[in-house]
Structure 1
Amino acid sequence: MSNHKYQGGCEHVEVYSDAEPIDNHECHCNVCKSVTKQHTTHVVFFNYGDLKASSEGNMNRVPFNAENPNGPLEICLCKDCNAVLMLDDKQKRIRVAVPNVMNYDPAPGPASYHAFWDETKGYPKPDDGRPVYSGLRPEFAWPAGA
């Protein structure tokens, strides 16, 4: 891999950014739980044009949310090795990295807050000093799409 501020991917497709993320949270949503099989997922949003792939033609795309297959997010997978590369927004607002799933080295710093937590999850509210919200942080504004 080349030398970028943040980079991940696989031996066939490098995913990278030299820009800072616009959001960095620990996600508690059921879709992330279903897709990653993790209790919580470190999720990093970049402006759409700031997260790039070395070979976008070498990616297969599948719906992120099986219960909403026509939703805006798609999981991008390497056509050669099936590695998870990034989430791509069909509305071209954001691209998403999941550092521990997408082999980021270096990775954006730790999540700054907890998103999509609610008491129906069946586990205690996080108590690690970071803010906890029922959605994205209140001041988050979705970028304009293309």
Structure 2
Amino acid sequence: MTSPYAGGCEHVHIKASAEPIDNHECHCNVCKGVTGQQHTHVAFFNYGDVSVDHPEKMKRQPFNAANPNGPLELCTCADCGAALMLDDKEKRIRVAVPNVMGYDDAAFPTASYHAFYDESKPYEKPSDGRPVYEGLRPDFTWPASA
């Protein structure tokens, strides 16, 4: 079976075998800094639902430079430098940012809400009818470590 959620680069292939457990438009400063976008479509998958064919070719760096010991690592290809995924050191989730990690963004469900919107920032609150939260959706529960 071919996964609609497949990304990566020519050296490292990432594939999800299940639907995302969370799917949002992220407004956090870290995503803005990494992608250069005002907001970014982000999908969380259970850790065990995402496979990597060549993990030995992944270079890891802290996702949040201001919190280098935080749980998320940005994985890039050691050969070409392409962004591949965010990996959780606690093995709870793996994260796809479809439009910058080699995925077909159109294959993903539309983000169901806006996360990490900060009212103190000088841009308008999203008004597309989707809920807007200061963090993740209130009913989100972090999965147990794999």
What is the TM-score when the length of structure 1 is the normalising length?
Answer: 0.95
Post-superposition offset of 1:110: 1.5
Letter of the 2:86 counterpart: L
Q: Tell me which residue corresponds to 1:98.
A: 97
Which structure 2 residue ranges, 5 or more long, are not aligned? Answer: none
- Report the Cα distance in structure 2 between the residues aligned to 1:37 and 1:143, rounded to whole angstroms: 29
Q: How does 1:114-129 map to 2 (within 5 A)?
A: 114-129=114-129
Q: Tell me which residue corresponds to 2:19.
A: 20
- Report the Cα distance in structure 1 between the residues aligned to 2:114 and 2:12, rounded to whole angstroms: 30
**Secondary structure of the residue that 1:39 maps to in structure 2?**
coil
Pairwise CA RMSD? 1.2
Letter of the 1:10 counterpart: C
- Whether contact under 8 Å (1:119, 1:125) holds in the other structure is yes
- Whether contact under 8 Å (1:5, 1:19) holds in the other structure is no
Q: State percent identity of aligned pairs.
A: 68
* Paired residues, number: 145
- Report the Cα distance in structure 2 between the residues aligned to 1:57 and 1:17, rounded to whole angstroms: 18
Q: Tell me which residue corresponds to 2:143.
A: 143
Which structure 1 residue ranges, 5 or more long, are not aligned? Answer: none
Q: Tell me which residue corresponds to 1:40.
A: 39
Post-superposition offset of 1:3: 2.7
**Secondary structure of the residue that 1:24 maps to in structure 2?**
strand
- Report the Cα distance in structure 1 between the residues aligned to 2:44 and 2:35, rounded to whole angstroms: 17
- Report the Cα distance in structure 2 between the residues aligned to 1:50 and 1:136, rounded to whole angstroms: 20
- Report the Cα distance in structure 1 between the residues aligned to 2:89 and 2:51, rounded to whole angstroms: 15
Post-superposition offset of 1:18: 2.0
- Report the Cα distance in structure 2 between the residues aligned to 1:101 and 1:31, rounded to whole angstroms: 14
Post-superposition offset of 1:107: 3.4
Q: Tell me which residue corresponds to 1:111.
A: 111
Alpha-carbon deviations, 1:70-112, whole Å to 9, x = none?
Answer: 1100000111101100000000000000000011136322211
